[in-house]
Structure 1
């Protein structure tokens, strides 16, 4: 009976997670997410989606916690990845540092952040911090070490995606302090696909060509992120 209860809880969790994903997709119009014009248009008409064209970062409210925001900032030509990684380990960076070559879209990160913050709020995280939980939720497996190996930055990486969870009023300070630590060139977040290693992504998430004939790679990736809780 205990095993059946565990399976049923997992199935309910996946259903809730999928409902969240569907609502996010409807709000974001994520099929057009790569189009900067669309992002800027949304920022004018939808207050929960804020794109700062000056700093090129993407700030969005969490679906279940509208008073909490997630900001993503993308960098290339990063020269101090090892230093940044060490600062993150020491707790001097209050944000998640992600390897963007394993990302298909900013939407993928938003889904992971929504789930991480929810688990953080109910005290049910699998890792020790909110930032590490975001990285863990990007992975299709339940191995924490594997998640950090694939999605965390390494000493030799030359690109990085910074993800900061913050309140409505402390966005500028929370993000700018960490941005100042990065020795690299900032890119618009919607250009993350230009850094994607699609073959590695397909291999890690075990996406078949048949799947991509009836959906997108992003569909398959988000699906794997959801079902790992019952695998």
Structure 2
């Protein structure tokens, strides 16, 4: 019996080693020379640099939502809209409003669809507010209130600063644990998200964290912090 337990433990160890051997530096991830400070140091942050203008981000979003809803409670998403030009701050304000209202899982896909399918210019405040007021799949009034809140523009400017500080030159860009930039290859987003999850496991093991059970109701922890900061 003891021999069986020893063999089982060895097999499990080899299995874990093989799983992490599949992700390689330079192929699947790059180690950042300048780490991204996490919003919650005791958890694993997945910083998502994206753009509502980015068609890849549009196609990734439903896959990201499907995967992230199953993540353990020690892992959270931090959505950051890239700002490469001043004109992009209008979109960043929408992203900040989605974050601070805690509605990534309700409002993000409708925003993408409004831009790509309805061809609406949501970076225009009047157009955005008119569109938000007409929504029935989520609380548009709540999103507009977050958009008009005192801290909204400051949050958008912080996104612009992070875009520059982290040298983000393409979307989507994911940074896991403030340390690893994920290298995406191809547009099979299920494969890409599995790679993100392998890197999450890598960070968890490096920190000596025990994986908790998957959370029952997924929420954007970055959004919760942003909302608290506005109170």
Say whether the fold is shared (TM-score over 0.5): no
TM-score (ref. length: structure 2): 0.28
